[in-house]
């Protein structure tokens, strides 16, 4: 592929291969070495899903003269690939988080410009499921819809068979029992479909949610619901 060839064939939302590689190079620096629940492959899946969602939308989804379709795509790709750079499970110090954010903005600004880099920083700080005070779509205007796209794509990757695998991968990597993973389904994973914003993501989520419900049914049957309840109680969750 030549440098001027597009990453996708949609005439509205395209970026060059050169831009994609530069963004990917930056993103990899912040997530390399993570366990398989939040590794580079996860970032690539989120990027792929987010790209599909934005490509299915009309041109000009950000209604601001400063925001071209190309800039929208650059921000979606960048935020998708780099969204876990400041995940609290891996960066638990506020000072370190701010340092990483500033580094990201400086490096990304050279590829997607200051407006795009600042937007990416705001998007990735307002995505977490556990975050109680995330900015709303309106508060992130004019690019709030881009955050919704990336966040929906990220949550879709926490659902279905991949979501199940990621849940147990993180549980194992953090030294927890698989009963703790089971508890995570009730606390978070089985509620994700209700939090999605874009129609495209909601449509995809239906089948993925059903897969998880069926898995939990078999898990509880094979392990015994009482065992799960006892584990929850021992963790202070019951």
Q: pLDDT exceeding 90 applies to what percent of the chain?
A: 77
Give the mean pLDDT of the chain: 90
Residues facing residue 16 across a β-bridge: 6
Say which CATH class 160-234 falls into.
Answer: mainly alpha
Distances (CA, A) of 212 to 8, 111, 114, 207: 31, 39, 40, 9
Residue-wise pLDDT tens digits, 96-144: 999 999 999 999 999 999 999 999 999 999 998 877 678 999 999 999 9
d(CA 68, CA 189): 35
ω into 142 cis (within 30 of 0):
yes
Is 6 a residue whose pLDDT tops 80? no
d(CA 89, CA 92): 6
Q: Would the CA dihedral through 82, 84, 86, 90 be positive or negative? A: negative
- 216 in Cβ contact with 185 (< 8 Å): yes
- 119 in Cβ contact with 146 (< 8 Å): yes
Calculate helix-pair angle for 40-55, 17-31, nearest 10 degrees.
Answer: 140
pLDDT at residue number 112: 97
Of 205, 224, 15, 231, the C-alpha closest to 7 is 15
Pick the range with the lowest mean pLDDT from 10-14, 55-59, 105-109, 202-206. 10-14
**Mean pLDDT in residue range 148-165:** 98
pLDDT at residue number 130: 76
Residue-wise pLDDT tens digits, 165-209: 999 999 999 999 888 898 899 999 999 999 999 999 999 999 999
How does DSSP assign 52-116, residue by residue? Answer: HHHHTSPS--S-STT--HHHHHHHHHHHHHHTTTT-TTT---HHHHHHHHHHHHHHHHHHHHHHH
Is 17 a residue whose pLDDT tops 90? yes
Hey, which of 52-66, 143-157, 212-226 has the most confident mean pLDDT?
143-157
The two structure tokens encoding residue 110:
């050279």
């Amino acid at each position: 592929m030549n440098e001027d060839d597009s990453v996708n064939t949609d005439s509205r939302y395209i970026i060059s291969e050169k831009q994609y590689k530069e963004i990917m190079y930056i993103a990899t620096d912040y997530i390399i070495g993570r366990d398989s629940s939040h590794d580079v492959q996860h970032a690539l899946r989120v990027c792929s899903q987010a790209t599909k969602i934005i490509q299915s939308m009309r041109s000009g989804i950000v209604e601001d003269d400063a925001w071209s379709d190309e800039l929208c795509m650059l921000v979606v790709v960048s935020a998708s690939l780099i969204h876990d750079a400041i995940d609290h499970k891996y960066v638990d110090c506020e000072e370190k988080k701010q340092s990483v954010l500033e580094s990201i903005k400086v490096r990304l600004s050279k590829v997607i410009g200051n407006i795009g880099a600042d937007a990416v920083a705001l998007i990735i700080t307002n995505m977490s499921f556990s975050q109680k005070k995330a900015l709303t779509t309106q508060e992130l205007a004019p690019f709030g819809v881009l955050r919704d796209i990336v966040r929906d794509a990220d949550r879709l990757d926490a659902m279905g068979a991949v979501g199940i695998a990621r849940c147990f991968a993180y549980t194992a990597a953090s030294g927890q029992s698989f009963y703790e993973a089971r508890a995570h389904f009730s606390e978070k994973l089985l509620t994700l479909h209700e939090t999605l914003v874009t129609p495209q993501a909601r449509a995809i989520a239906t089948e993925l949610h059903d897969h998880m419900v069926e898995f939990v049914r078999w898990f509880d049957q094979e392990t015994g619901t009482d065992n799960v309840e006892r584990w929850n109680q021992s963790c202070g969750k019951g």
